[in-house]
Chains A and B, each alone.
Chain A
């Protein structure tokens, strides 16, 4: 009788440790997802900071391209003042479009392209664009790990018990970006 009780006690202790382990790994993964999301924000802010410098440098060389410059500045301030997540995603996508259009126009200005300061800024902005897309990529990776853990046995039972919700993938809104997608999930 005593031994049976001991075995039951051991089983209970084992079970509790098992649940704690899975619960903690779920929390860890959820924090990873949140962290990956904030990484995107960091890079978007960096892009906002770079744009005034870029416009300032290019202004002297590109007097005939006022429209392009104004587009960028407008897109930037729109992105910075966006309230909801949906608005924000849209504004940031528009900003990406304005920036890539700007760099296409720059091809016509060899003087500007030879400016060392401008080249340095261009490298920074290219890198920031890359960092944004890699941060999104990483965010989607983390969401995938998290969702797998929530849906797969045996962790799905514990996730259900504590009411963990599936993470949302980062989807691209504009059809232009969808044409050359970085990441896509079915």
Chain B
């Protein structure tokens, strides 16, 4: 597993420099065009790197918090959803993480999940309420293992930096193109002699082409790497759980859901386990999609017949994607010994009917939002809004007066369960 991490970090570095080169080229040509002097290009480089550095610093310090807030995730404790916390701890043990990831629930019925955190020591895993109501234990374990895979493989670190570099490139190009649009571009060159004017016109064209192409190239780079990381995280998940079928059937359920995640947008989309924005005509956008096709991921996982190791995943991957495609670096494939697949967990979970599922999602979302749950003796579960300040409430069915417990001993969803 360490070889895999090292290979990933090496690739992160290469991408880091590639993105840096694009940024420097962009900064130079824009600086040159704006000022009209080669020295201006140097200034442009400094400004471009400054923006990049600033954004990187911000993301390093509080990037995870920004992402969690953007996706409206709420931190949860053991009593809101014991199984989720347990499964995360299981994966923490299996992956030998130095600390337990913080667990968040996104109050949204669309099933999805993501992980954030630059370092494995300080990471977070967020899942939606919809996902929790839809998955059985093995499937939930598969999803959490996939996210844990992103953490151990240092994908988040890398995707954050790549994302920031991409963001800077897009931002700078946008500003440049807009300024060209409004100023007409020619104004700055009027004082120059005609000879150097021609050279500058050429540079202007080069800069324009660069500013238009750079964001596209950067995006394609980013997306290509994002897709690869998804395969890698799948491989790690299979290895951690020793049970590829869990993740496969979870992905199947995710694929069959047609709900859009409200809080996701184009920037945060790559970090989710499946693309939260379901677009029409996905086939056309293979190059720009952030995730590999789910059907392919499921097929690979399901054809891992011999074992759950990286080598087995690579074999399955090659069989489906064609002979020469590589997904896992060679250094990680030198594992000795077979890693066999375990059988399904004994605690089977009956498929809940649809109405029960919908109600579960609602309850979970309310629990996350600090609603109070009161169990009336007549059997009705009353959900009290956190802003309700009266000392008691009347049961709408049997008209009993129910005391509202003081905030000192707030009952949560599972508080009821233990009654």
Contacts and interface: CB of A to CB of B under 8 A. Distances in A.
Nearest to B85: A127
Interface string B334-351: 001111101101110000
A133 B96 CA distance: 13
Interface stretch (B120-128, B271-279, B411-419): B411-419
Contact of B417 (A120, A124, A180): A120
Nearest to B87: A127
A165 B137 CA distance: 39
Contacts, number: 77
Contacts of B137: 126
A171 interface: no
Interface in B62-114: 82-83, 86-87, 89-91, 93-96
Interface residues of B, number: 32
Interface in B371-419: 414, 416-419
A134 interface: yes
A137 B86 contact: no
A58 B380 CA distance: 26
B2 interface: yes
Interface stretch (A1-9, A62-70, A83-91, A139-147): A139-147
Contacts of A122: 347
B82 A116 contact: no
B329 to A, nearest CB: 17
Nearest to A125: B347
A124 B418 contact: no
Contacts of A131: 89-90, 93
A43 to B, nearest CB: 8
B1 interface: yes
A122 B82 CA distance: 11
Nearest to A179: B343
A174 interface: no
B90 A185 contact: no
B185 to A, nearest CB: 57
A39, A43, A181, most chain B CB atoms within 10 A: A181
A134 B60 CA distance: 31
Contact of B419 (A116, A123, A180): A116
A135 B82 contact: no
Interface in A8-50: 32, 36, 39, 43
Contacts of B340: 181-184
A145 B332 CA distance: 12
B414 A120 contact: yes
A123 B90 contact: no
B94 A138 contact: yes
Interface in A100-132: 100, 103, 116-117, 119-120, 122-124, 126-127, 130-131
Given A39-B93, A131-B93, A138-B96, A116 B417 contact: yes
Nearest to A126: B347
Contacts of A182: 242, 340, 342
A11 to B, nearest CB: 27
Contact of A137 (B87, B141, B242, B346): B242
Contacts of B339: 183
B2 A130 contact: no
A103 B347 contact: yes
A134 B90 contact: yes
B84 to A, nearest CB: 11
A182 B141 CA distance: 16
A186 interface: yes
B414 A138 contact: no
Contact of B94 (A116, A137, A185, A186): A137
B336 A144 contact: yes
Contacts of A119: 417
Contacts of B141: 130
Given A39-B93, A142-B96, A184-B338, 14 more contacts: A116-B417, A120-B82, A123-B83, A126-B345, A130-B345, A134-B91, A134-B94, A135-B93, A138-B95, A141-B1, A144-B336, A180-B343, A183-B340, A185-B337
Closest 9 CB pairs of A and B: A127-B86, A134-B94, A116-B417, A185-B337, A134-B93, A130-B90, A126-B347, A138-B96, A180-B343
22 contacts: A39-B93, A43-B93, A103-B346, A103-B347, A116-B419, A120-B82, A120-B414, A123-B82, A123-B347, A130-B90, A130-B141, A134-B90, A134-B91, A138-B93, A138-B94, A142-B96, A144-B337, A180-B342, A181-B340, A183-B242, A185-B337, A186-B337
